[in-house]
Homo-oligomer: A and B are copies of this chain.
Amino acid sequence: MARIVMKFGGTSVADLERIRSVAGRIKAEVEAGNQVVVAISAMAGVTNQLADYADQAAGIYDLHEYDVVVSSGEQVSAGILAIVLQDMGVAARSWLGWQIPIRTDDTHGSARIEDIYADEISRRLGEGQVAVVAGFQGVDAQGRITTLGRGGTDTSAVALAAALGAERCDIYTDVDGVYTTDPRIVAKARKLDRVTYEEMLEMASQGAKVLETRAVEMAMKHHVRVRVLSSFEDGPGTLVVDEDEIVEQAIVSGITYSRDEAKVTLTRVPDRPGAAAGIFGPLAEAAINVDMIVQNVSVGGDETGLTFTVPQADLARAVAVIEGLRENLEYGDLLADPDVVKVSVIGVGMRSHAGVAQKMFATLAEKGINIQVISTSEIKVSVLVAEEYTELAVRSLHSAYGLDAE
């Protein structure tokens, strides 16, 4: 007998037929003797529709009220799933964020969970009752509804698993696990049986949108064993675990890419202290998230070049901010290029193996792909290349690191 959390996303509960199928999976776990907590998303499309109401109601709006509106989607699906479970003879009740309560900070629209008061749910789990928890929502100290931001139900699920000491947190989604790369681009992509939190974190934030980044961070912090699996077909999925649970670690476990990048280059920036701060300070103030940065080495001169990337959606704003700096900041030209892609090689094995980056550069050079920017972390090497090379770069690297399926 184990205590488990099962998370179902919007496509898994898109209509009543799918909700019944989800209820069947829950029933099977109950009948296997498990204590089950469910974290459920709104039915597919509902959250977007509710957010559209708010967008149409006003250009800028109070996020307290936005949260009141959008949190209703999970309220509906939780109530309906509880009804379906009861109808199947499974004891169940719905729980809204404020009823548990799931206490968050007051950053409405993207709140962080601070505490979960899980005693009552825990008691009822002991009595065999399934807890159907509305995902994505909590309540702040003032008793107002908060939401956790897009994909927040992953975070709800992991936080519940941590608070309830669950043995496992199963994330049911529309894919059957985590892959070495995007199977739509590389036919030979392989499903991974296990992946470490650190790798999953890099994959999630590098554009492999299986699992929300914050949920992975929380799982890592609280050592919650997360499993990613399909709600539409049976299979073991991918287990996301601590590094020491993985016996034989491949050096590289995945190749990811993100097209949501834009490159900004400034020429003839004065090569003196404070120049970079003069640029990145104002960008940070405008809440523009700068990712990769490279500064050319100034050889013998007093000017240098500066290149960095921002999310594509922020490119226009970034350009406006920098043009606004002209008076106080000397620079030559401002070049903006949205047609770039960031390709990353990820693997915890890199820590102990040299040569991973070198193989990447050699592989791309062999295909004639020019690297525009490079950034690295302990378990990742990322390069920025022209967007037209996306598929070629990903496929070549997938082969080069021996990730292709037999």
Q: Which residues of A contact B (CB under 8 A)?
A: 16, 19, 50, 53-54, 56-62, 64-69, 71-73, 75-76, 78-80, 82-84, 86-87, 93-94, 96, 98-99, 143-145
| Distance of A143 Cα from B53 Cα, bound (Å) | 29
Give the docked Cα–Cα distance between A96 and B50 (Å).
17
Known pairs A64-B93, A66-B79, A68-B96; list 4 more (Cβ under 8 Å): A16-B57, A71-B75, A72-B73, A75-B75
Known: A75-B75, A82-B62. A87 touches B57 (CB 8 A): yes
- Contact present for B56 and A99 (CB under 8 Å): no
Contact A75 B78 (CB under 8 A): no
**Central interface residue in A58, A78, A79, A145, by most chain B CB within 10 Å:** A79
- Say whether A83 contacts B66, CB under 8 Å: yes
Contact indicator A58/B84 (Cβ below 8 Å): yes
What are 26 sample pairs from A and B whose C-beta atoms fall under 8 A apart? A16-B56, A16-B57, A53-B76, A54-B80, A54-B83, A57-B83, A57-B87, A58-B83, A58-B84, A58-B86, A61-B86, A61-B87, A62-B93, A65-B80, A65-B83, A65-B94, A68-B78, A68-B82, A69-B75, A69-B76, A69-B83, A71-B75, A72-B73, A72-B75, A72-B76, A98-B98
Query: Which among B50, B65, B78, B96 is the interface contact of A82 at CB below 8 angstroms?
Result: B65
Q: How far apart sit A385 and B272, CA to CA, in the bound complex (Å)?
A: 98
A61 to B59 CA separation, bound complex (whole angstroms): 40
When C-beta atoms are compared, the residue in chain B nearest to A71 turns out to be: B75
A40 to chain B, nearest CB (A): 12
Which residue, A19, A57, A82, has most C-beta atoms of chain B within 10 A? A57
Closest to A49 in B: B76
Q: Which residue of B lies closest to A88 (CB)?
A: B58
List chain B residues, Cβ under 8 A from A62: 82-83, 86, 93
A101: nearest chain-B partner, CB-CB? B143
A72 neighbours in B (Cβ, 8 Å):
72-73, 75-76
- C-alpha gap A62/B92 in the complex (Å): 10
Shortest Cβ distance from residue A66 to the other chain B in the assembled complex, whole angstroms: 7
Query: Across the interface, do A93 and B80 meet the contact criterion of CB distance under 8 Å?
Result: no
User: Smallest CB-CB separation from A23: which chain B residue?
Assistant: B57
B86 touching A80 by the CB < 8 A rule?
no
Give Cα distance in the complex from A72 to B62, angstroms: 19
How distant is A343 from chain B, measured CB to nearest CB, in Å? 41
Contact B75 A68 (CB under 8 A): yes
Q: What is the distance, in angstroms, from A92's C-beta to the closest C-beta of chain B?
A: 9
Indicate if the CB atoms of B66 and A50 lie closer than 8 Å: no
Verify A53–B16 contact, CB threshold 8 A.
Answer: yes
Residues of B contacting A83 in the complex (Cβ-Cβ under 8 angstroms): 54, 57-58, 61-62, 65-66, 69
- Which one of B16, B57, B86, B98 lies within 8 Å of A65 (CB-CB)? B86
User: A66–B78 Cα gap in the complex (Å)?
Assistant: 11
List of B residues within 8 angstroms of A73 by Cβ:
72
* Bound CA span A59–B86, Å: 11
Q: Is A79 a contact partner of B68 (Cβ separation < 8 A)? A: yes
A54 — nearest CB in chain B belongs to which residue? B83
Q: Which residues of B contact A67 (CB under 8 A)?
A: 79
For A60, list chain B residues within 8 Å (CB): 87
**Given that A62-B83, A83-B62 are known contacts, is A99 also in contact with B69, CB under 8 Å in the complex?**
no
B87 touches A58 (CB 8 A): yes
